[in-house]
Each structure stands twice: as structure tokens, then as C-alpha cells.
Structure 1
Amino acid sequence: MRINRKKLLLAMLDQDMKVGQLVEKSGLSRCTVSAIRSGKTCNLETVQKISKALGVEPEEIIE
């Protein structure tokens, strides 16, 4: 599963959230978040953690 980089960035901007804040709220490592922002794939659990941290539905950020 892949998170759309543009949708992720827009969701972060909407929440006025920086990468460090996303790392804290999602409970994921900075390395994982950076990989996702670079276009790497991830599993459903990771998508759910990121979407919850951003306050959006998973469908709103996946490709």
C-alpha cells in the first residue's frame, strides 16, 4: 500500500503539522515517516496510524 505524497503533505499542512509532530502523534519512527514521504510502500497498520494522527480517513491519503 502506498500513501500519496501530495495528499499526505496537504493533510499535514491542513493540521499545521511538521514531520516531528507526525512522528510523535503516530508512534512511528522518523525513518518510517521519511520513507513514506519519499514514496515507499507501507502496510495497512501504518496507514491507519498516520491517518489517525492527521485526523483523516485512510482513503483520503492512499493512492
Structure 2
Amino acid sequence: MKINKIKLEIAMSEKYLNFMKLSKVSGVSRTTLSYINNGKSCRPDVAGKIAKALEVAVEDLIDKEA
């Protein structure tokens, strides 16, 4: 599952979060967040943790073309 970088950054901006803070809130490591931000795919449970931390639906973050 690929998370769209722009959608992720917008959601983070709306919550005033950087990757370090998102890591703490979501329980997803900064390394994993960095991989996702650089275009790597992630497991559905990781996408769910990120979406929950950002208070958005997973479908609002994923890259539907991938």
C-alpha cells in the first residue's frame, strides 16, 4: 500500500506534526515514516496507525493509482 507523499504532508501540516511527533503519536518508527515519505509501500496496519494518528481515513492518504 502506497501513501501519497503530498496527502501525508497536508494531513501532517493540519495537525502541526513533523515526522518525529507523528512517530510518537502513531507508534510508527521514524525510519518507516521516512521510507513511506520516499515512495516505499507499507503494510495496511502501518497505514492504519498513521491515518488514526492524523485523524483521517486511510483512503484519504493512499495513492489510488499505485
Task: State the TM-score bracket (shorter-chain normalisation).
Answer: over 0.9
Q: 1:35-50 to 2 correspondence within 5 Å?
A: 35-50=35-50
Unaligned 5+ runs, structure 2: none
Match of 2:24 in 1: 24
Moved over 6 A (4+): none
Q: Which runs of 5+ in 1 are unaligned?
A: none
Q: TM-score, normalised by structure 1?
A: 0.96
Q: C-alpha displacement at 1:46, in angstroms? A: 0.5
Q: How many residues align?
A: 63
Q: Deviations over 1:15-45 (max 9, x none)?
A: 1111111000110111101000111000100
Q: SS of the residue aligned with 1:7? A: helix
Q: Which residue identity does 1:11 align to in structure 2? A: A
Q: Percent identity?
A: 41
CA RMSD of aligned residues (A): 0.5
